[in-house]
A and B are shown apart, each in its own frame.
Chain A
Amino acid sequence: MKTSIYRITILLILIFSSRIFCQKDSRWFLLPDGLGFSNHLEYSYNTDTTVIHNEILENWLNLDYNKNIFSAGLRFEVFQPNDPDPSVSRGKVRYADITYKYFTVDIGDVEEGLNITAGNFYKLFGRGLILKSYEDRNIRVDNNLLGVKVEANYLGFSLTALSGSAANSVNERQDILHAMDLQYNGLNFVKLAATLASNQPNIDGVARTTLAAFRLQPSYWNFDGYAEYGIKSNKDDQLKYFNDDEWKVGEAFYGSLNFYYDAFSIVGEYKYYDNYAFTSSDGTIYYNTPPSLRKEYTYVLLNRHPSPLDQSNEEGYAVEVNYNFSDETSFIVNYGVTRTLPNSSYYQRVNNSANLISTQLKEVYLQATHGWNESFTTIAAFGYNEELSTNTKNITPILENKFYFDDINTIKLVLEHQQTENLTTNEKYYDDVIALEYLRSPNFNVSLVAEMQTKEPEEGNIVRKIWSFIQLGYKLGNHSDISLLIGSRQAGNICIGGICRYEPAFQGIELKMLTRL
C-alpha cells in the first residue's frame, strides 16, 4: 500500500510539474533537422490482489531520422513487467530492448523509383490474403519482419520483393519468409497483380508452405470492384492428407463490389477461406489477415461477444448501405453472415473431421444519425448478433446524444443496453452501460462510465455487478496527450476486424501518455 501511494504520488507530481513547465515558452528547444521522436507509455496498477501482476508497465519509444533519400530509426520497448497473458506478452515477460530498427533508401518518385529497406519492416499485399505484416498496439499485434525489402516502380509496374523473419510466441525469429508482389497500374479501368510467398521452416526436412494469388481491381463509372483468388501448397500436407493426389492444400477468395450514386452507397463483400492460414512452422506467427467481414464497432457492448477471424474455415458475406437524407440525417444498415465450411473442404479433410456447416457469426447493425439543430445531435443504433465461439445471441440498442453548449464545450451521453442469451446454458442476462462525457476543446475531457450486469442464476435470485470508472484526458502543450483512468472496468475485448485482445476485469488506476516531437 505504501509503495502504491509512493508511485501514484510520483506520477501525479510528474504530470503536474510537466504542465507547469509547459506553460513557459520552450521555443528554445528544437529537435535537430530531420529527427522525429515519439513515446508511448502505459502504466496500470491493479488493486485486485488475486491477479498475477498488480503493476504492468509498457513503454514504446520511437526515434526516426530523415535526410534526403535516407531514413533510419529504431523503437525501444520496455515491458517491466509485461501483461501476464502470453498472447499479449509473446515471450517478453520482463523486457527492455531495441525491437525495431531500419535503414531505408528512397530513390526517384512514384513513376520511376526504388525503395530499399534493411532491418525491420511491415508490408501488406493487396487486402492481406497472403501477407499482412503490421503493428497494432491496441490489440498488441506486431509481426514485423527482419530482413530486406525492395520496392520498385517502373513503366506502370510496382514490384515488391522481400525476405524476412518474424518473431514467434517466444520471441525467436526462426522461419524465413520470402515474398514477391507485382502489380500493373498502367490501365485506367483495372489494376492487375500477382503475389507469391513462401515460408521456409528452420527445421531440416520440413516442407515449405507456399501461397500464390492473383488479384484485379476494376473500376467503371460509379462501380469499384476487388477480387483476389489464392492457393496454398505444402508438399508434406499433400502427401500426408491427400496421398499426393491434390496439388494444393488450401484456397481462398475475397471479392468486393461498391456502388455509389449521389448520397447513396452500397458495399458488398464475399469471402471464402479454406485452410488458408499462412503461419510459421510452429503455428504461432500469422503472416496473413484477410478481410474478416465483421463490422467495426466503437461501442463497448457491441464488442463484448466478438467473433474471431479464422483464416482456415470461413465462408460468408457482408453488405453495408449508407444513405444521407440530408446534411443532418443519415442511415447505415449492415448485415453479415459468416459460416464454417462443409466437410468437403480442405480444412475438414486436413483435420479429418466431418462437422456440419454452422453459423459462426450473423450480425445486423442499424444506425440513424440526426442533427436536430446546431447544438444537438442524436445517434440511435441497434445491433443484433449470433456468435458461435461464445455461443450467444445478443440484442443491443444504443442511444447517443451530443449537446454542444457553444463552440468549444460538448456534453455526450451514451446509453447502451445488451440482452444476452447463452445458447449452451440457456442463461439470459443483460448489461447496461452509461457513459457521460464532458469535452472542452482543445485540451480537456472527462468521462464517467458505469456498467451494471444483471443475472438471475435462480428464479427470484437477482445478482447485480457494477463497475465504474472516471477517465480524464488532457493535452500537455501541442505534443503530449495524457489519459488517467481511476476505478473498475468489466472484462472485455478490444477488436479490430476480427482480431481481438481480451482485457480482463480491472480495478485500480491506469495512465496512458503519448508524446511526439
Chain B
Amino acid sequence: MRLILLAVLSLFFSLSVIAQNEEDITGRKAPNFKLVNLDGKYVELNNISGSGPILLSFWATWCKPCLEEMSEYNKIYEQYKDKGFVLLAVSTDTEKSVAKVKPYIKSKDYKFAVVLDTNGEVARKYYAQQMPYTVLIDKNGNIVYSHLGYMKGDEQKVEKLISELLEK
C-alpha cells in the first residue's frame, strides 16, 4: 500500500515539476470540436480559429462563480471583439438545466457565441473537471493558457494575454 501511495504521489510530483510556469505560453494543440449553438446551428472550432485568439469559457447556469466570471469576460469581449478576438462560452449544463441557458444569456443581453456541451464531451477533451474553466487559444490553434475556478482578478491575466496575442 505504502509503495503504491508513493508511486502515485511521485507521479503527481513529476507532473507538478514539469508543469509549465506562468511565463510559458506554449501548449498543446486545441482539440477540434463541433457543438450546437443557441440557434441550433453547428459551430466547429477549426472553422473559427485562425483569425485571432479564442477564449473558451466552460460554465453552467447553476455555477455562481461562472456567472460572475462571464460578466467580466463579456467586458473583455466588448473591448476586443472588433480586433479579432472570439469568446466562445461552452455551456456544460446537462439535460437537467440546459433549458435555462438561452433564457439566461438573452436576459443578460450577452452577444458572444454560446455552444451547448450537454454531455460534457468537449469538457472532457479539454480536461475541464470543474467549473468554471477557461482555455485561451492562439491564432495558430495552440492552447496558451488554462485556468480552473474563478476569483475576482483572474480576468486581468486573461485580458493581458489576449492583448499580447492580438499584438503578435
Contacts and interface: CB of A to CB of B under 8 A. Distances in A.
B100 to A, nearest CB: 5
A45 to B, nearest CB: 11
Interface in B118-145: 118-121, 124-125, 127, 129-130, 145
Contacts of B39: 219
B151 A442 contact: yes
Contacts of A7: 2, 5
Given A10-B6, A264-B107, A441-B153, A22 B121 contact: no
B12 A515 contact: yes
Contacts of A27: 20, 23-24, 26
Nearest to A481: B148
Interface stretch (A279-287, A349-357, A471-479): A471-479
Given A23-B21, A36-B28, A80-B4, A497 B153 contact: no
B21 A478 contact: yes
A324 to B, nearest CB: 6
Nearest to A292: B96
Contacts of B61: 296
A14 B12 contact: yes
A513 B61 CA distance: 25
Contacts of A185: 40, 42
A71 interface: yes
B19 A476 contact: yes
A480 interface: yes
Contacts, number: 252
A294 B6 contact: no
A39 B29 contact: no
Contact of A269 (B47, B99, B104): B99
Bin chain A's interface residue count. Answer: 35 or more
Contacts of A24: 21
B97 interface: yes
Nearest to B21: A477
Given A62-B127, A407-B153, A408-B152, A26 B40 contact: no
B42 A110 contact: yes
A41 B19 contact: no
A128 B95 contact: yes
Nearest to A404: B152
B104 to A, nearest CB: 6
A55 B13 CA distance: 20
Contact of B17 (A21, A473, A516): A21
B79 interface: no
A244 B47 CA distance: 54
For B11, B103, B153, B157, the residue with the greatest tally of chain A CB atoms inside 10 Å of its CB is: B103
Interface in A118-138: 122-124, 126-128, 132-137
B113 interface: no
A20 to B, nearest CB: 9
Given A18-B13, A39-B12, A290 B19 contact: no
Contact of A322 (B2, B8, B107, B154): B107
A445 B151 contact: yes
A238 interface: no
A466 interface: no
Contact of A25 (B21, B32, B47, B148): B21
For A38, A379, A479, the residue with the greatest tally of chain B CB atoms inside 10 Å of its CB is: A479
B40 A296 contact: no
Interface stretch (A255-263, A388-396, A417-425, A450-458): A255-263
A289 interface: yes
A467 interface: no
Contact of B24 (A25, A64, A71, A445): A25
Contacts of A96: 4
A343 interface: no
Interface in A492-508: 496-498
Contact of A64 (B11, B43, B108, B125): B125
A226 B95 CA distance: 11
A222 interface: yes
For B12, B62, B102, the residue with the greatest tally of chain A CB atoms inside 10 Å of its CB is: B12
Interface of A: 3, 7, 10-11, 14, 17-19, 21-27, 29-31, 33-41, 43, 55, 57, 59, 61-62, 64, 66, 71, 78, 80, 96, 106, 109-111, 113, 122-124, 126-128, 132-137, 153, 185, 191, 217, 219, 222, 224, 226, 256, 258-260, 262-267, 269, 289-294, 296-298, 320, 322-324, 379, 404, 407-410, 439-442, 445, 473, 475-481, 496-498, 513-517
Interface of B: 1-2, 4-6, 8-13, 15-24, 26-29, 31-32, 34, 39-40, 42-44, 46-47, 61-64, 94-100, 102-104, 106-109, 118-121, 124-125, 127, 129-130, 145-149, 151-154, 156-157
9 contacts: A33-B28, A66-B32, A219-B40, A289-B95, A298-B64, A324-B108, A439-B152, A441-B154, A478-B19
Given A292-B96, A477-B22, A514-B129, 9 more contacts: A11-B9, A14-B9, A17-B13, A26-B18, A110-B42, A407-B153, A408-B151, A439-B151, A445-B151
